[in-house]
């Protein structure tokens, strides 16, 4: 959670309690991500003997919080997704993330759908420092390289090499060796 809060705060220094509380008050994406991380933590407790009792007692709290954020913000971060630190949700509404692996420092816009095929395959893998614009869709088992920027409304159906700008429906590489650090 520290990396997620630092990304919202845009700071690298020590975090004060007031900064953390302000980040949670200001960023609904951070609230949703905290609930997601709480659920992943509960999932690790089930595997430990004698500690699973705590997980059983806390799961109703987790499910209640998940239902509340789905109704309030329309953001669904499924527990099947493996999200690295530094994940940032820019806007609320229509975000669905499931069955994928997301690298550190990735940004999502509103109405983004990351739902790979339900077939056992390599799965959807998103590298680090990836920007995914509003209304983008990735609905295939593809690999998105590090430093990629996916434009608004793009529908990705094929692998994307690192440091590319991807636009369109169906998506195409608009520029190679693209520097997306200003978007992050």
Asked if the structure places residue 184 within a domain, the reply is: no
CB atoms inside a 10 Å sphere around CB 160: 23
- Examine residue 62 and state whether it is found in any structural domain, yes or no: yes
Mean pLDDT in residue range 8-31 = 81
In a domain, 182, yes or no: no
Which residues have CB under 8 Å from 10's CB, separation 6+?
none
Q: Residue 171 belongs to what domain range?
A: 2-176
Which of residues 180 and 120 earns the better pLDDT score?
Answer: 180
**Number of residues that this document lists for the chain:** 184
pLDDT band at 56 (very low <50, low <70, confident <90, very high): confident
Average pLDDT rounded to a whole number, residues 70-78:
92
Question: What CATH number should be reported for the domain holding residue 165?
Answer: 2.160.10.10
Low-confidence winner among 9-23, 91-105, 152-166 (lowest mean pLDDT):
9-23
Q: What's the number of domains the chain is made of?
A: 1
Question: Per residue in 130-141, pLDDT tens?
Answer: 999 999 999 888
Residue 12: count other Cβ atoms within 10 Å of its Cβ.
Answer: 6
Tell me, yes or no, whether 162 lies in a domain.
yes
Q: How far is residue 117's CA from residue 106's CA, in Å, rounded to a whole number? A: 21
In a domain? residue 183: no
pLDDT of residue 135: 95
Residue 160's pLDDT band (cuts 50, 70, 90): very high
């Amino acid at each position: 959670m520290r990396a997620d809060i630092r990304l919202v705060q845009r700071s690298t220094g020590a975090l004060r309690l007031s900064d953390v509380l302000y980040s949670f008050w200001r960023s609904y994406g951070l609230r949703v991500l905290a609930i997601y991380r709480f659920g992943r933590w509960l999932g690790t407790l089930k595997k430990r003997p004698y500690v699973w009792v705590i997980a059983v007692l806390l799961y109703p709290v987790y499910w209640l919080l998940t239902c509340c954020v789905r109704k309030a913000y329309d953001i669904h971060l499924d527990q099947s997704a493996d999200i690295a630190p530094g994940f940032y949700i820019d806007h609320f509404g229509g975000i669905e993330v499931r069955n994928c692996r997301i690298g550190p420092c990735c940004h999502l816009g509103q109405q983004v759908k990351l739902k790979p095929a339900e077939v056992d395959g390599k799965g959807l893998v998103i590298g680090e420092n990836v920007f995914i614009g509003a209304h983008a869709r990735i609905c295939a088992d593809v690999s998105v390289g590090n430093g990629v920027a996916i434009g608004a409304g793009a529908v990705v159906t094929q692998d994307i090499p690192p440091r590319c700008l991807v636009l369109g429906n169906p998506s195409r590489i608009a520029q190679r060796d693209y520097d997306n650090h200003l978007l992050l």
